[in-house]
Amino acid sequence: MKSSSSVLGIGAMLAAGLFWGGSGTISRFAPAAALGQPLALAWTRLFFGGVMLCAAALVVRRRGVLSAARAAFLAGICMAMNQTGFFMSMDVLGVALSTMLVIGSSLVMAGVLGCFLGEVPSRLWWFAALLGVAGSCLAAAPGSAGASFQLAGLLWGLLGGLGYALLGLNLKLLARRGLGPLESNGAALLWGAALMLPLLWGHDMSWLATARGMASALALGFFPTAVPHFFFALALTRITVGQSYTIGLVEPLTAGLLGVFFLGETATAVQAAGMALEFACMALAGWDALHKS
């Protein structure tokens, strides 16, 4: 029984990573006015994704949304920390280094934070996490050649990674309190969007009033936000926080492959090696989850 539960958790986390990995590709179809405003796109994802999940919770469960709105405030802070930290780091260090910082640091932090829930990582998990961090570094290396590794960018990236790791911890605690993945994630996303509103001061959001802008917002809210966050919360009820984050490396792997096959980007041998290490990390984390069950 536990084994089948672990399989469901692994499958849910793989699905979450696959949908998350499509975020960059879907964002490319947004209006030009939106592409130069990454914080605006991040807010759009959180807001529309949150509305969709809360609406689904009202239809499916017909209860729990109001209680989730109160309970998920801390998770909403984590959402805002993750998005703000990542995009502020990206503004200083560039996409490659900021992605490596957020994903790599969140892997280690998730393993440590899981200990507070009684989920002590195994030696196999730590080895898998090491491979994952190394893979993230290799995948980012080609893009970091011209980047200036400034302290501010480092701190913003670590803040983004901490927010992502704390998010998993909070969602797991909400699940233990009986809240479902629809309402807990929906409320957390909306809290995150509300907390990010001051950062939108001076941003031009008029692109949302266009047909293409609204279509992009709905697509960003559904495919790389609402759907994967539902699967993420579901996975956290079946496997440990640390295992979820290592298996979640399918996200950058998916993003890289979509960039190569659909956006005409090229992958160097170093990037390919990084992807291979990320795949090995996911495989070992999956084996660890099944072995523990």
Percent of the chain with pLDDT over 70: 94
Task: Check if the beta carbon of residue 175 is closer than 8 Å to that of residue 181.
Answer: yes
Task: Check if the beta carbon of residue 245 is closer than 8 Å to that of residue 125.
Answer: no
Question: Residue 144: its pLDDT value, please?
Answer: 45
* Domain range summary for the chain, segments of one domain joined by +: 2-292
Strongest mean pLDDT among 88-102, 114-128, 255-269: 114-128
How far apart, in Å, are the Cα atoms of 157 and each of 37, 172, 188, 250, 253? 18, 23, 21, 20, 19
Task: Check if the beta carbon of residue 90 is closer than 8 Å to that of residue 203.
Answer: no
- CA–CA separation, 12 vs 250, rounded Å? 12
Closest CA to 220 of 19, 4, 13, 3: 19
Place of tokens 């393993």: 111
Percent of the chain with pLDDT over 90: 60
Question: Residue 1: its pLDDT value, please?
Answer: 44
pLDDT score of 68 more than 90: no
Which three-class secondary structure state does DSSP give residue 11?
helix
pTM confidence score: 0.90
pLDDT in tens, 195-231: 999 999 999 999 999 999 999 999 999 999 999 999 9
Task: Check if the beta carbon of residue 226 is closer than 8 Å to that of residue 52.
Answer: yes
Q: What is the residue type of 28?
A: R
Question: Residue 141: its pLDDT value, please?
Answer: 66
Q: What is the mean pLDDT of residues 253-269?
A: 80
Q: What is the residue type of 163?
A: G
pLDDT in tens, 1-60: 467 888 999 999 999 999 998 888 888 899 999 988 989 999 999 999 999 999 999 998
pLDDT score of 136 more than 50: yes
Question: Residue 43: its pLDDT value, please?
Answer: 97
